[in-house]
Amino acid sequence: MKRIIESYRRRLATEEGWTLKRGTELRVALCYPNTYEVGMANLGFQAMYELFNRIPAVACERVFLPEDAEMREYEKARTPLLSLESQTPVRDFDVLAFSISFETDYLNMARVLRMSGVPLWSENRTAHDPLVVMGGAASTLNPEPIADFTDVIAVGEGEILAPKLVDLIFEHRDSKEELLLALARVGRGFYVPSFYDVTYTHDGRVEAYTPNVSGVPLKVGRAVAAENPKEGSLRRAIRRGDLDVANSLRETDVFAPSTVIWAPEAEMGERFLVEISRGCSQGCRFCWAGFNYWPPRVVPARDVLAKAAEWRGKTDKIGLVSTAVCDHPEISEILQGLRAMDYRISVSSLRLDQIEDELLDALVESRDQQIAVAPETGSDRLRKVINKNL
Ligand code: SF4
């Protein structure tokens, strides 16, 4: 156990920006079901850390699946899984909030629960066990494989769901059953699997969800953050030259997910990542991101550049995160601002028909070796069928 604690403290010493709050009313263990190197490169995970810790009554600490050497130490010491910040047993937290981006991590989620000593099946948990919440892209997209291990599945965006979850936990501290009912009855954003009977067709597809308690919705809607300006509204205002409207959209107070912990030992740990937009207006028929994050929203250039300026003292590498970077109505302003700060820029993905010289110049100047484009198929006919019109 001593070795595990020492290795966690060594890791913390390499980082900047982490938080350790003591004496708060609610403790949340934010679990990434993969190793530290992978988890710390995940912007959604970092965003949830920031969102929970912004709430004064909440202390949020990180938990990762141990790497091989750490795993051997855990097995040797027969120690339950510990949080990174305070090295507290995970099972002592009030809430275990998983951030799951990939279905392949579902198995790791079960390993984290087992290593923590928290009952694997939700029906075996008592009021003394932590509340197990799953969130993230994978669990929103396909919750059923993990439904039996889960008390609550968060459906939608963390900016809305984290404060709502915390409020309801405080309102229903004395009864887990009442808390689950209250969450399910919100109607949007919280799916409580134990309140539904699920039937399947003969080929294994979900046929129907039937509530087994009253007052819960037949269908759980996703919760969407509404503060960010809509991409289309800002583009139209800029195109029309309507500065009043454009400026009022830009002035909205938005939450922009970005790196909050400087973690040089993680994948892409020396790069400052910032989300510049969410969702996509192109409407490709197969694309989950386009539908799930509808309507497409942006982080105004002003906010992206302000964050970039704060981080410039630590790094000269920045990654712009978006489903379609060039769709941002202020992409030119963002690139010019970042180049003026002497940033080396990389981008998450580009549409083939939107690659402008200005962006290529910025990438060449940054000595970025790669771009990702997705033509999907070599056939124009098939591209029309899937509505990917390049
Ligand atoms: S352009 Fe890309 S992100 Fe947008 S809908 Fe099509 S596949 Fe999805």
Is the pLDDT at 156 greater than 80? The verdict is: yes
pLDDT grade for 362, boundaries at 50, 70 and 90: confident
| Atom 6 of ligand 1: nearest residue by CA position | 284
Is the pLDDT at 226 greater than 80? The verdict is: no
Cα 174 to the chain's mean position, in Å?
Answer: 29
Calculated CA dihedral for residues 153, 37, 159, 231, nearest 10 degrees:
-110
pLDDT grade for 230, boundaries at 50, 70 and 90: confident
- Ligand 1 centroid–CA 131 distance in Å is 35
- Ligand 1 centroid–CA 283 distance in Å is 7
Q: Which residues line ligand 1 (CB under 6 A)?
A: 280, 282-284, 287, 289-290, 323-324, 351, 388
Which mutation among 280, 325, 373, 386 tests ligand 1's pocket best, with the greatest number of atoms within 8 A of CB? 280
Q: Which fold has domain 2-211?
A: Rossmann fold (3.40.50)
Give the pLDDT confidence score for residue 327 in this predicted structure.
Answer: 86
| Atom 3 of ligand 1: nearest residue by CA position | 323
- Ligand 1 centroid–CA 122 distance in Å is 36
Shared fold status for 2-211 and 231-385? no
- Ligand 1 centroid–CA 359 distance in Å is 19
Which mutation among 278, 282, 350 tests ligand 1's pocket best, with the greatest number of atoms within 8 A of CB? 282
Alpha-carbon Rg of the chain, whole angstroms? 22
Token readout for 256 is 């922009």
pLDDT one-digit tens code per residue, 202-223:
998 999 999 999 999 999 999 9
Closest to 297 (Cα-Cα) out of 160, 205, 390, 173:
160
Q: What is the mean pLDDT of the chain?
A: 92
- Ligand 1 centroid–CA 282 distance in Å is 6
pLDDT grade for 134, boundaries at 50, 70 and 90: very high
Closest to 213 (Cα-Cα) out of 231, 200, 194, 227:
194
pLDDT one-digit tens code per residue, 238-281:
888 888 888 888 877 788 899 999 999 998 888 999 999 998 88
DSSP class of 195? G
Answer whether 195's CB lies under 8 Å from 219's CB. Answer: no
pLDDT one-digit tens code per residue, 303-342:
999 999 999 999 999 999 998 888 899 998 999 999 999 9
* 25 Cβ contact partners less than 8 Å away, ≥ 6 residues apart: 57, 58, 170
Residue with tokens 């033509």: 375
Closest to 32 (Cα-Cα) out of 186, 159, 169, 138:
138
CATH architecture under which domain 231-385 falls:
2-Layer Sandwich (3.30)
Give the pLDDT confidence score for residue 390 in this predicted structure.
Answer: 75
Which mutation among 277, 287, 293, 371 tests ligand 1's pocket best, with the greatest number of atoms within 8 A of CB? 287
Closest to 275 (Cα-Cα) out of 292, 261, 254:
254
- The rounded distance, in Å, linking the Cα atoms of 318 and 341 is 11
Which residues pair with residue 101 across a beta bridge? none
DSSP class of 92? G
Crossing angle of the two packed helices 331-340 and 301-311, in degrees rounded to 10: 20
Of the chain, the percentage scoring pLDDT greater than 90 comes to 68
- Hey, is 274 helix, strand or coil? strand
Taking phi over 0 as left and psi of -120 to 50 as alpha, with beta for the rest, 239 belongs to alpha
- Ligand 1 centroid–CA 285 distance in Å is 9
pLDDT one-digit tens code per residue, 282-293:
889 999 888 888
- Ligand 1 centroid–CA 354 distance in Å is 12
- Ligand 1 centroid–CA 374 distance in Å is 9
Is the pLDDT at 359 greater than 90? The verdict is: no
Helix (H) or strand (E) holding 26: strand 26-32
The domain locations on the chain are 2-211, 231-385
pLDDT one-digit tens code per residue, 44-68:
999 999 999 999 999 999 999 999 9
Q: Which atom of ligand 1 is nearest to 283's Cα?
A: 5
Between 225 and 26, residue with greater pLDDT: 26
Q: Which atom of ligand 1 is nearest to 388's Cα?
A: 6
